[in-house]
Structure 1
Amino acid sequence: MKKTAVGIGLALTLTGAAATAMAPAHADPRPARSQEARATPRDGYRATRFHGERPRPVHPIASARTVRGQRLSITVLNRDGKAPDEVFVTLAPLDGGDWLGGTVVNGRLEAEVPAGRYAVMSWVTTGASSTLVYLPDVQPGDLVLDARQGRRVLPRIDRADAGLASAGLMVTQRIGGEQALMTMNEGTDLYVTPTGPAAGLALRAQAVMTRNGSADSSPYVYGLAHLNAGRLDEPFSALIRTSGLAAARTRYGTEGRPACGGGHVGVDWGDVGIGAWVGVGALPTTRTEYFTPGFTWSQDSAVTTPDCSFDSLDERSRSFAPQRAGRYARDWNIGPFTATPGTAIWSTAGAEPSLAVPMLSTWDSRSMLAPYAGTVGRSVLRDAQNRVVYQSDEPGTAHDWPAPPPGDYSLTLDATRKAPWSDHTSTQHTVLRFTVRDGEPTALPGIRLRTPLDERNHARSGVPQPITLNVAGSTAAPSLQVSFDDGHAWRKATIHKTGANWTATIPNPSAGQVSLRMNVPGLLDQTVIGAYRIG
């Protein structure tokens, strides 16, 4: 049985490389964009992220075994009515057979293929634009793929200065009795040709709009989604009104020093997603982000140095699923930043981690895995006799740890952090206790922590400070201690059950920083020196 990173969330949560940035595709290994579009610098963290399922592999048309073949003649025209020099065409048998593909040269392809019915698709470029020409159910013969019928993916909204920063398309169709991802692409100049109805055919579309289409910074962001079931047609054909969207007032915090922010946004369709880059710019800042309700939105956000290089960064991710229009409030990069529930995967294969504990998470966002900027630490697994079984020089992350024998274990996680954009040093010491029963992934206990902080991650001096805890894996009451002298002296806080959470109120000092220690007997002990600063 394949081991997976249970409980870690989307692929992009695991590591910066897990959500791969790759060329738009429908099985053609080459990009479906023009040379002009491919030359746009969108590398590194800013690159578009594709995660989840990919279209099936394609076999050359020439390799098809044709006992009773049928003649296939394909003519391709771009949006100018001209034959493109080269374009790749994919044929997917509706009975679930091997997908076939070939390069159409100077607008013409002649071949022989097995008899049957096919879905035929191609991304046809015209200048910087790319048009999906899609025939959902045809027989071999004389086929024309005419991009002139394409309709642009360009939402209209009631905001005059809004421009398109990114559009994404995915097509699914029932192939061989199963729903399959047929093609996907992302860009700013995409078109799609309408089709007739077909079984299981669906067009999934998303668009990101910002002021003047800026991908680097904007005082607002629109995340728009559209699902067209049964056929392909122009998405977003009707005017979109801001009042019909979920409006999330979003604070982007810093940690006391100048910083820059940015991230990705896209619909999580369950099996696949496209994360489009949207910059934030100088931190701290606050902006309103609008979303089509009724969809689950996957987002990540990173903080980096003031030059916006994103060479060194802290990244977090979350899902947002507004069910109706209205006002919402959210924060990014506002802590406290602590270890939250993770997974021991016991993987020894490839890049998949054996241990996955996000160490810099917040109440409602999960951090990527170590290494972290300006952070040193380690992870140590011990058995019931306190003997070291495994250790790693990264906090919360390890590779090539096979499943240990069944029994009781403890995992100690240590991390000391002084990020370039932070004005203080914080230290975490966490001990987790759990039982290994077999070689399958093991859910690890953890605590989520929340307390109100300003956009610099500071709390007000001399006022009562509410603390909220949520314990994963136990109904037992946690204890909470607080220190105002970096852990030299501790005082116990009174804690109460409030719904599914535990709450306490502590008096903030007049200056300095506050440290917290949380304990659930037999499950975990977590100390955060410098959980937040006063000022």
Structure 2
Amino acid sequence: MVRTLAGAYVEPESYDVTLTVVGKQGRPINPRQSQIYDAKTGAIHQPAFRNGVAKVRLPEGDWNLYTETLEKIDGKWHTTIADPALKVDGGDQQLTVDARQGRAAKITLDDPSAELQRGYSLGLTHGAWNSMWSTNGDVNTGFFVVPSRRPGLTYSLETVWLSKDASPSPYVYQLVNRRTDGLPEDPAYNVRQKDLAKVTATYRASGVAATGTPLAGPRDSDFPGSNLTPLVGDITLPGTLIHYRTPGLTYNSGLEVGSSLMFDGGRLAKRGETSEVWNAAVIGPSFLLPGGSRTGDKLTFSGVGLFSDGGAGRTGSDAAATGVATLAKDGQVLANADLAGCWIYEQEGCELRADLPSGRGSYTLTASMRRQVPHSALSTGVESVWTFPFATTAKEQPLPLTAVRYSPEGLDESNRAKPGSVTRLPIRIERNPGSAPVETESIRLEMSVDDGANWRKVPVARTGSGWSAMVPNPSTAGFVSLRAVVTGTAGTGLTQTIIRAYAIG
């Protein structure tokens, strides 16, 4: 007996579609980029063009054709985008995209002291599909949009403007022309300064002179992650930068100083004036990002958030810091991991992973890191020791971790208090995202003026949702270190130590 394997494919109802792209000079051209996509599923077909023509076979249904052409005309580059609907139903068909129908997406601003920078970014999202790209071209002479009405399609064009005469710029404009339900009939964007959000950002130094790179970018809920980009290059710390932003959008902000990076979870820009402070003491552990979890009998801990500045809703890391994480159960060490090269976007090298015994137990997790860096004299040692009961979980369960966050008042722009002064120290607790609420039963605070060799208690008072302490600063130049012991309900606890929390003198 001879057996032969055979297979068959039953094609769904499909038709041939011929696509033609015509350039701005009236001749067929091959687009630089082209995608046929289904907005509901995100499915993509990439047609192959030859001499401006492509033929594809598509299942019947509702499709869209995104094209992007690039042409050099009279020595200047022209980019044209189009996104017409493509309904495949009842027979073969043809569709032509004509770049000559493109309209100029020119941006104007009523501040004569500001200058449009070369380069712009485009973001498109349509259901399950999206496209994002940037170019160094001139948006005002070389970008065109073929209008199309398309419910659910969002268009965002971002440009940056800087002051003409000062370097680095004392202010920056981030202007976003955001439209919904298709590519705009009139893509021009005329901006008035008085209609924008104005944010005055102060960037502190950490006890020593340094330079830093301010970062910012609009964050759209349709696009996961943040669009943090350098704005004006390096600035001297301490320093100030004024941000003008298109209101109604959420912007992520951040600061890169040497090997450290910190950023926030985003702020909605509103018309009017606000202010914010970056690189403010006390730099230490935070939980804007998840710090670890247990799934079944496997535990993961991430040490990337141990060097965040004192601002609420922020996280931070320093790739130059080194240390170790240790996990113990009922006093027996289960796992160790070296912590080094901790970078927000590359967490693999800054994790502890452990296989746990089944059932319930009392765990102690320690994360300790130190740094000696030219860009900071502060937070040279950061350590958290967490204790918590934990049991086998069927689903992923965040670890019940907390962080003590400080916002000392009255420090100067280098994070220094005056010798002999008293610093009011607001205190708050941050929790690992998603972890079960744990009530804080007590908090004890200690201070040291000799880098942790000796400690003395500082009284703490409850104030609303947090606590406050009055820290007596030494009469000579130096540093204040802080240690907090937090006791929570259900057997949880934290001892957190920050060496050189802020400077004196």
Question: What TM-score comes out, normalization by structure 2 length?
Answer: 0.80
Q: Which has the higher strand share?
A: 2
Deviation of the 1:68 alpha carbon: 5.1
Q: Given the superposition, is the C-alpha separation of residues 440 and 167 from structure 1 closer, same or farther in structure 2, using an over 3 Å criterion?
A: same
Q: 1:242 aligns with which of 193, 202, 208?
A: 193
Question: What's 1:324 paired with?
Answer: 270
Q: Deviations over 1:455-503 (max 9, x none)?
A: 3232222222111111134333422111222223322222222222211
Q: Deviations over 1:15-34 (max 9, x none)?
A: xxxxxxxxxxxxxxxxxxxx
Q: Given the superposition, is the C-alpha separation of residues 231 and 78 from structure 1 closer, same or farther in structure 2, using an over 3 Å criterion?
A: same
Cα distance in 2 for partners of 1:476, 1:413 equals 23
The alignment yields a C-alpha RMSD, in angstroms, of 3.1
Deviation of the 1:354 alpha carbon: 4.2
- 1:459 maps onto 2:459 in alignment: no
Q: Would the aligned equivalents of 1:262 and 1:301 in 2 still touch at CA under 8 Å?
A: yes
Q: Given the superposition, is the C-alpha separation of residues 75 and 423 from structure 1 closer, same or farther in structure 2, using an over 3 Å criterion?
A: same
Cα distance in 2 for partners of 1:356, 1:431 equals 12
Cα distance in 2 for partners of 1:122, 1:65 equals 30
Q: Deviations over 1:155-214 (max 9, x none)?
A: 3222222313553322233xxxxx223322223445352434333222234333323599
Q: Would the aligned equivalents of 1:156 and 1:236 in 2 still touch at CA under 8 Å?
A: no
The within-5 A match list for 1:89-488 is 89-93=34-38, 96=41, 98-127=43-72, 128-139=77-88, 141-160=93-112, 161-164=114-117, 166-173=119-126, 179-189=127-137, 191-211=143-163, 217-233=168-184, 237-272=188-223, 273-284=226-237, 285-304=239-258, 313-322=259-268, 324-341=270-287, 342-345=290-293, 354-364=301-311, 366-369=314-317, 372-373=319-320, 375-383=321-329, 385-394=330-339, 397-402=350-355, 405=358, 406-423=360-377, 426-437=380-391, 438=393, 440-443=396-399, 444-452=401-409, 453-472=411-430, 473-488=438-453
Cα distance in 1 for partners of 2:164, 2:100 equals 27
Q: 1:517 aligns with which of 472, 483, 486?
A: 483
Q: Given the superposition, is the C-alpha separation of residues 354 and 529 from structure 1 closer, same or farther in structure 2, using an over 3 Å criterion?
A: closer
Report the AA paired with residue 360 of structure 1: F
Report the AA paired with residue 129 of structure 2: L
Q: Given the superposition, is the C-alpha separation of residues 113 and 440 from structure 1 closer, same or farther in structure 2, using an over 3 Å criterion?
A: closer
Deviation of the 1:109 alpha carbon: 1.7
Report the AA paired with residue 79 of structure 2: S
Q: Would the aligned equivalents of 1:164 and 1:212 in 2 still touch at CA under 8 Å?
A: no
Q: Given the superposition, is the C-alpha separation of residues 168 and 153 from structure 1 closer, same or farther in structure 2, using an over 3 Å criterion?
A: farther
Question: What's 1:505 paired with?
Answer: 470
Q: Given the superposition, is the C-alpha separation of residues 389 and 192 from structure 1 closer, same or farther in structure 2, using an over 3 Å criterion?
A: farther
Question: What TM-score comes out, normalization by structure 1 length?
Answer: 0.76
Q: Secondary structure at the match of 1:119?
A: strand
Cα distance in 2 for partners of 1:388, 1:290 equals 52
Deviation of the 1:81 alpha carbon: 4.2
Cα distance in 2 for partners of 1:465, 1:219 equals 31
Q: Deviations over 1:335-356 (max 9, x none)?
A: 22111235213589xxx97424
Q: Secondary structure at the match of 1:393?
A: strand
Q: Deviations over 1:38-83 (max 9, x none)?
A: xxxxxxxxxxxxxxxxxxxxxxxxxx98665433222223344444
Cα distance in 1 for partners of 2:211, 2:404 equals 28
Q: Secondary structure at the match of 1:197?
A: strand
Cα distance in 2 for partners of 1:239, 1:369 equals 39
Q: Given the superposition, is the C-alpha separation of residues 339 and 93 from structure 1 closer, same or farther in structure 2, using an over 3 Å criterion?
A: closer
Q: Secondary structure at the match of 2:182?
A: coil
Q: Given the superposition, is the C-alpha separation of residues 243 and 534 from structure 1 closer, same or farther in structure 2, using an over 3 Å criterion?
A: same
Deviation of the 1:530 alpha carbon: 1.0
Q: Given the superposition, is the C-alpha separation of residues 520 and 158 from structure 1 closer, same or farther in structure 2, using an over 3 Å criterion?
A: same
Q: Secondary structure at the match of 1:230?
A: strand
Q: Secondary structure at the match of 1:358?
A: coil
Identity, % of aligned positions: 24
Q: Deviations over 1:441-466 (max 9, x none)?
A: 42421111111433323222222211
Cα distance in 2 for partners of 1:359, 1:202 equals 37
Report the AA paired with residue 366 of structure 2: T
Cα distance in 1 for partners of 2:446, 2:78 equals 60
Q: Is the radius of gyration larger for structure 1 or structure 2?
A: 2
Cα distance in 1 for partners of 2:209, 2:157 equals 36
Question: What's 2:346 paired with?
Answer: none
Deviation of the 1:506 alpha carbon: 1.5
Cα distance in 2 for partners of 1:118, 1:295 equals 29
Deviation of the 1:258 alpha carbon: 4.1
Report the AA paired with residue 448 of structure 1: R
- 1:493 maps onto 2:446 in alignment: no
Q: Secondary structure at the match of 2:169?
A: coil
Q: Given the superposition, is the C-alpha separation of residues 188 and 88 from structure 1 closer, same or farther in structure 2, using an over 3 Å criterion?
A: closer
Deviation of the 1:100 alpha carbon: 1.3
Deviation of the 1:323 alpha carbon: 5.5
Q: Would the aligned equivalents of 1:335 and 1:450 in 2 still touch at CA under 8 Å?
A: yes
Q: Deviations over 1:364-418 (max 9, x none)?
A: 2534456x22x221111111x2111111111783154356644321111111211
Cα distance in 2 for partners of 1:234, 1:436 equals 58
